[in-house]
Structures are given as structure tokens and as C-alpha cells.
Amino acid sequence: MSFDRLIKAIDKTGNPTVAGLDPKLDYIPDTIKEKAFAQYGRGFDGAAAAILEFNKGLIDALCDIVPAVKPQCAYYEMYGWQGVKALSETIDYAKQSGMFVITDGKRNDIGSTMESYACAHIGTTDICGEKLAAFGADALTVNGYLGSDGINPLLNICRENDKGIFVLVKTSNPSSGELQDRILSSGISIYQQMGIFAESWGEDTRSLYGYSAVGAVVGATYPRQLEQMRKECPHTMFLVPGYGAQGGGAKDIIGAFDADGRGAIINSSRAIMCAYKKDGCSPEEYAEAARREAIRMRDEIAAAISER
């Protein structure tokens, strides 16, 4: 139920991190691309084949030490339906490798349409009485601007299918404050209000570790707000982007964790995917370099948590 599966996987690996799979072609070693282009052409088919191959290498290198992956839809959609097919195949491969999959789609819509997104990404679609999983991730990021009837269809599916959602609360980007930091007449900020919504939307899905099926996205680039939201949202699991390439470090994210060192999962995308570029090693060793960076990040976060 809710995020118990994710928390157990974090406990088992001793690693509260998720590897972002944002496979822009620029990030993919030339050897993988050239092989894919030779076989499928220099178009979306070739790009999609390169993406899948790249992702599989990362998943193979990470699956025993990183509990989860987070494919970002944008980097698949930009390669057309072929890219979206590669997203679907990536999710399947990660699940087969024992990883928890968070699809980062930030989906949002009104009730009847949100139900379709929920079916698409974490539920099943009914075709003539047969229920088929379209993308079948374990969790989905969502945007709560439309209020509870854009969230309720997800909650039904979370309950029935043991899935979770992460609602955008305080995002990691520089301009996140333009709207999110504005103060309401009630005296709290919009992101705090969204945190209150997340707590209440998840209220009747709390489980083993006290966390509900409704998590929140809170960026590593705003450590003060992260610490504040941990206090204000004690039953809300945090997905924390912005560590690494966006500038957040280990000391910036310790506030995301509860007294037991639980309650958060830290994302790193480029720093892991492109570790081979920073390492200066051969592009063919991208997977090994990703593993080294994932271990470094795991140990850095563990040290920061134990030192606090």
C-alpha cells in the first residue's frame, strides 16, 4: 500500500535515491547512437533505439544499488511516438530489473480526463473487458493546480493497484517562487497550501511507515523550505529533485528526511547519466561511471544523514 514498497526498497539498498532517466541524444555515447542509426536510420526510430539501449545499460549498472528510476516524459516525447515506445519499454525493463518506477509526467487535468491519465500511467485501460497496463509505472508526478477532482481519480487507482503520486509543491527551478512563494490572505504561501492539500488528499491511504500514497515534489535547491515542509507534512513522502547538476548538495537535502532517516527520495539525473563526461573516462564506460557516481551519491547522503 502507498509508498511502502518504495520505502522497503530504499531500506534494503540503504540508498534513498532515484536515478533520473532523461536520455537526451546529447547524453548518449556515440557508439550507441551510431549503431542504432545504422540499424534504424537517423530519425526517431534510430533515436528511440539508442535511448532504450542507453537506458538498459544504466538500469543494469544501477539496479542492485539504486532502488528506483524516474524517466522524464519530455525526453521521450521529443522523439515522437517512437520515443514514447522507448519510454514504455524502459519502464518494463526497469520493473523486470526489480526497480520502482516513477514516471515524471507532471500530469494534470479535470476529473474525467485525469482518470484517463491515471489509467495510462499507473493503472490499467479497459479494452472490451480486458484490463491492460499502458505504461504501468509505480508512481506518477502530478500538478495540483486544478484541485481535488484532478487528484481523486488517481487516489482510487493508488488504492486499488498499490501505486503512488507525487504532487508538485515547491519545485527546484529558479522561478518557482514567482507563483509558489506568494503569500495567501490566510498568511501561508501557495506551496505551503499545496503541502496541506497533499497531506489531506493522502489522509486515508497512510500505511506501514506513516506515509500516504500522496507524496510531494520539493526541490533540493530550497533547503529551508524543504526542512519546513518536512515538519508541516509528516505523512507525505518527498521526491527531491535538484541535487547535483542543479546545484543542491548533501547538506541541502538532509532536512527532507524524518528522524528515522526515511520520508524522502533524492533524484539525480544528469550527474549519473553523464558521469562518464565528468570522469573523463571512455564513453563506452558510461554505465560503470554512472554506478560509481550513484555509489558516491549514496555514501555522501548516508554520511550527511548520520552526521546531522
State the catalytic residues: 106
Query: If binding is defined by CB under 8 A, does position 114 make contact with a copy of itself?
Result: yes
DSSP letters, 54-111, are HHHHHHHHHTTT--EEEEBTHHHHTTHHHHHHHHHHHHHHHHHTT-EEEEEEEE---H
| Member of 31, 97, 116, 161 binding a copy of itself (CB under 8 A) | 116
Query: If binding is defined by CB under 8 A, does position 42 make contact with a copy of itself?
Result: yes
Query: If binding is defined by CB under 8 A, does position 54 make contact with a copy of itself?
Result: no
* Separation between Cα atoms, residue 275 and residue 281, nearest integer Å: 9
Question: Which one, 27 or 284, has the nearer CB to a copy of itself?
Answer: 27
CB 126: neighbour CB atoms within 10 A? 10
Question: Which one, 171 or 236, has the nearer CB to a copy of itself?
Answer: 171
Closest CA to 226 of 258, 261, 255: 255
* Separation between Cα atoms, residue 86 and residue 51, nearest integer Å: 7
Question: Which one, 119 or 275, has the nearer CB to a copy of itself?
Answer: 119
**Measured from the CB of residue 300, what is the shortest distance to a copy of itself in angstroms?**
23
Q: Which of residues 64-103 bind a copy of itself (CB under 8 A)?
A: 72, 74-75, 77-81, 83-85, 87-88
Q: Which of residues 132-151 bind a copy of itself (CB under 8 A)?
A: 132, 134-135, 143-150
CB 20: neighbour CB atoms within 10 A? 25
Question: Which one, 77 or 204, has the nearer CB to a copy of itself?
Answer: 77
Query: If binding is defined by CB under 8 A, does position 22 make contact with a copy of itself?
Result: yes
CB 125: neighbour CB atoms within 10 A? 13
Handedness of CA 242, 246, 248, 250 (dihedral sign): positive
Question: Which one, 3 or 44, has the nearer CB to a copy of itself?
Answer: 44
**Measured from the CB of residue 135, what is the shortest distance to a copy of itself in angstroms?**
7
| Member of 111, 210, 261, 283 binding a copy of itself (CB under 8 A) | 111
One-letter amino acid for residue 171 of the chain: T
* Separation between Cα atoms, residue 297 and residue 14, nearest integer Å: 12
Query: If binding is defined by CB under 8 A, does position 31 make contact with a copy of itself?
Result: no
Query: If binding is defined by CB under 8 A, does position 168 make contact with a copy of itself?
Result: yes
Query: If binding is defined by CB under 8 A, does position 283 make contact with a copy of itself?
Result: no
